[in-house]
Structure 1
Amino acid sequence: MSQHHTGSCLCGQVSYELTGEFKKFFLCHCSRCRKTSGTSHCANLFAPGAELTWTSGAEHIRFYRHPDSNFARAFCQTCGSNVPIDAKARGLVVVPAGSLDSDLDIKAQANIFMGSKGNWDDNLNQAPCFDAMPS
């Protein structure tokens, strides 16, 4: 079933549309994802055979590939937000879940690379929750 999604970066200069279906949704805790996100993990969706269209700001996208690995990130040069990567050689689009402006029908399916997670990543779900910045 083909789905339609929209997304953008934080500053709004880069926006996109994706037509396809997300087949996998992983929360990656590897050290590279922690470095690029500044958090405990990256939340990435994988859409094999999807069509990615940049609706604005393609000229603001920059790309980084980590040497000697398959790790890569596309991001807005203005605000630094991660944006999708069209991995044509692999036949899929990788979408940072946080870049989506549309809702998802899929839930995270796995936490991956837990062997290299940060030592502070244990029991994050036990921290108190607030609807806004606590005082």
Structure 2
Amino acid sequence: MTDRNYIGSCLCGKVQFKITGEIKDIVCCHCSQCRKAQGSAYATNGNVDSDEFRFIQGEHELAAYQSTPKETKYFCKYCGSPIFSKNTLAPKNIRIRLGTLETDIIEKPIGHIFIGSKANWEDIEGKLPQYKEYEPSRK
């Protein structure tokens, strides 16, 4: 297995973190909630084992938003950068926003999800599979 050492941060740099493990289940999510949270056509997210994620600095600079009864999204309270989310149904996972990473990653996205609610002005191109809702491998 290849050693991983990924570094990420928010836009203003007050929140910095490190990932030492694999980023799994990377998807480009086109649901309306991800579009609003990102301010873009979609969010690219991946799962990281919570034991392989740690803050370098700024954990106390995070604000939290409970987007559903089971999910909380965390973002920098200064610049607003979305950093990650946690879901009570998967307590060992941290769902990281890949746009916050500063280092190149080994892993690649596995598909586009929730294309049934994608922005009408967006044309999805490329060879990644597209799913109306969640990808079939999601448990």
TM norm. shorter chain > 0.5:
yes
Query: Is structure 2 residue 4 aligned with structure 1 residue 3?
Result: yes
Distance 1:4 1:87 in 2: 24
Equivalent residues in 2 for 1:45-84, closer than 5 Å: 45-48=46-49, 50-68=51-69, 70-84=70-84
> What displacement does 1:67 show?
3.7
What is the one-letter code of the residue matched to 1:36? A
What is the one-letter code of the residue matched to 2:118? K
Query: Which stretches in structure 2 are left out of the alignment for 5+ residues?
Result: 127-139
CA contact (8 A) 1:24 1:47 kept: no
Secondary structure of the residue aligned to 1:34 is helix
Distance 1:31 1:113 in 2: 9
CA contact (8 A) 2:22 2:107 kept: no
> What displacement does 1:7 show?
0.6
> What displacement does 1:86 show?
5.3
CA pair 89-67 structure 1, distance change in 2 beyond 3 A: closer
Distance 2:86 2:20 in 1: 12
Query: If you compute each CA radius of gyration, which structure gives the higher value, 1 or 2?
Result: 1
Equivalent residues in 2 for 1:101-112, closer than 5 Å: 101-112=102-113
> What displacement does 1:48 show?
3.5
Runs of 4+ in 1 over 6 A off after TM superposition: none
Partner of 2:135: none
Q: Between the two proteins, what is the percent identity of the paired residues?
A: 33
Distance 1:84 1:101 in 2: 15
The alignment covers a number of residue pairs equal to 124
RMSD: 2.1
> What displacement does 1:122 show?
2.4
Q: Taking structure 2 as the reference length, what is the TM-score of the superposition?
A: 0.79
What is the one-letter code of the residue matched to 1:52? F
> What displacement does 1:50 show?
4.2
CA pair 47-85 structure 1, distance change in 2 beyond 3 A: same
